[in-house]
Amino acid sequence: MSKEYDKILFRLTDILTKLAQHQVPTLNDLAKEYNVSMRTIQRDIYVRLNKFPIIVNSSKQLQFIDGFSLSRTKLSIEEMMTMTLSLELIKNKGKEFQKASQNLMDKILYEKVFMPYYIKPAPSEYIDMDSSLLNALEEAITYANLIKVTYKTNQEQIIAPIKIINFDGFWYLLGKEDCEVSINMISTIQSVCLLEEKHTLNAYEKKLYENAHTPFFNTKTHLSVTIKVSPRVAHYFKLKMHLPSQKICEETKDGYLIISFDVTHFEEIDNLVKSWLPDVQILAPLSYRNAFKEELSKYIKCIND
């Protein structure tokens, strides 16, 4: 137990040190360097270090959010991680300790880190990374086994699992079924059975699946969407890429931005467009523009009835 604790403490401390020194490792880089599974590194980043403002940039690299610095705290990185792991043990003793543990983390450990700045963490669905289900999925992904998935609806599916992925705070299993993409919520899975048969991904497929950034991703269609952004919100589209494929094609003299996105399904960009109404217009394709207008018309009719 002590040796395992020491390994975790070293790994977490080293990861924070790298990020503090402006290194930008990927999850794969860290898994290889520390000789641990991808699930272990994911747990390090998304569970053990979830209070730190670590983001994944457009190149799939980890980094602190711009403007964040560990130098703002009086605690050393080693002290911060010792406190974090200790409170994590208390938290796991029962639900009654979870809130108290969380409050202690906020007040004792991170108050100085986040003040005078406040980094709002994105809420995420709870997932038990030590469950038998997740252990089976990790093993299947690591050793490229096919699996038989039984869903809570009693439906069954044979798939090649590729990775466990978080989309907008929800956990999904990304896989391949008969050369087609399979994306299903972890919460809908009842059980998993590892099969002896193996599967492989060629270099093209690996790169393709790395581009999955919404649960609507597929490999069959490739669509280009062009939007027009008003000067009132253009600044926000210059500051960050809202989707990995975002490309600013033109900035007009009066401040409008013409932006293109490459997607595999219109649903991948739908929520983005809706969240910026009325300052975003769909220019192309016409089929998507018309479908979007029809959906808005139905909504307006619904609230007026």
Question: Quick one: 189 and 239 in the same domain?
Answer: no
User: Are residues 91 and 98 in contact, defined by beta-carbon separation less than 8 angstroms?
Assistant: yes
Query: Among 3-7, 112-116, 162-166, 287-291, which range has the highest average pLDDT?
Result: 287-291
Question: Quick check: is 209 in a domain?
Answer: no
Where is the domain boundary, 57, 83, 114?
Answer: 114
CATH assignment of the domain containing 188: 2.30.30.100
2: confidence class by pLDDT, cuts 50, 70, 90: low
79: confidence class by pLDDT, cuts 50, 70, 90: confident
Residue range 270-277: mean pLDDT, rounded: 95
Question: Quick check: is 215 in a domain?
Answer: no
CATH assignment of the domain containing 86: 1.10.10
180: domain range?
Answer: 132-204
1: confidence class by pLDDT, cuts 50, 70, 90: very low
**What is the per-residue pLDDT for 147?**
96
* pLDDT digits 0-9 by tens, 101-110: 666 666 655 5
CATH assignment of the domain containing 262: 3.30.70
Number of domains forming the structure of the chain: 3
**What is the per-residue pLDDT for 296?**
94
Decide: pTM greater than 0.85: no
Question: Quick check: is 127 in a domain?
Answer: no
| Alpha helices, DSSP H, located in the chain | 2-20, 27-34, 38-43, 77-91, 95-104, 111-114, 132-143, 203-210, 231-239, 267-275, 286-304
* Secondary structure element (H or E) that encloses residue 177, with its range: strand 170-177
Question: Quick one: 261 and 300 in the same domain?
Answer: yes
Where is the domain boundary, 48, 83, 114?
Answer: 114
- Name the least confident of 32-46, 85-99, 214-228, 274-288: 85-99
Residue range 253-279: mean pLDDT, rounded: 95
Question: Quick check: is 35 in a domain?
Answer: yes
Question: Quick one: 97 and 23 in the same domain?
Answer: yes
Question: Quick one: 11 and 83 in the same domain?
Answer: yes
Question: Quick one: 108 and 150 in the same domain?
Answer: no
